[in-house]
Amino acid sequence: MISLKIEEVKAFMAMLLTNTLFDELILREMDIQTFTNFNVSGQFHENFFTKEELEERGSEKAVLWGDIRGIAFSIIRGQKSPLMMKIVFQLPSNQTARLLEGLGGKLRAEDVGGLYMNIRFEKNELHIITGTAIKTFTLDKTLDIEWDGWVKKFLSKQGIIFEEE
């Protein structure tokens, strides 16, 4: 687990809210505090969709950031910054499997509960905190190190400037 302080908050928020960069990440939770609280649980309701729509979504039956991004933008849009914003992203299972391949079989996909990226904006500061959930007990931190590196590389590739805390 690492904590990264985003240096250029406005540029990051523009990427988050108006760009497709994060669209394929699973949204687990979103809380935005403006004049009131807005909360999205990230719970996926299959019954809302037709069979065809579910087939189009593929095997990942989850709420993606791309499904919510426009709503988040409409909540945040305006002259004032939110008082607080928290977004929890999870790496989709197909990307998690690819990341695990790089570990040389140390962990199986079914052993990983999730790879998380927690975005938190409060008091005009924006932080990204990484997290891993492993279903089995292990002292091995290889997955944590690999995930932290993946997040830093992902942000750097987009020109997002951060400082590790």
Q: What is the pLDDT of residues 48-98, one digit of tens each?
A: 989 998 888 877 789 999 999 999 999 998 788 999 999 999 999 889 988
Global pTM value: 0.91
User: Tokens 């500061």 belong to which residue?
Assistant: 125
| Structure tokens, 144 | 């944590």
Residue 59 to residues 53, 55, 94, 121, Cα–Cα distance (Å) = 12, 8, 9, 32
Task: Report which residue type is found at 101.
Answer: E
Distance, CA of 164 to chain centre: 18
What does the pLDDT read at residue 88?
Answer: 98
Can you give the pLDDT at residue 123?
Answer: 92
Q: Which is nearest to 73 in space by CA: 16, 29, 35?
A: 16
What is the tens place of the pLDDT at every residue in 112-142? Answer: 999 999 999 999 999 999 999 988 887 778 8
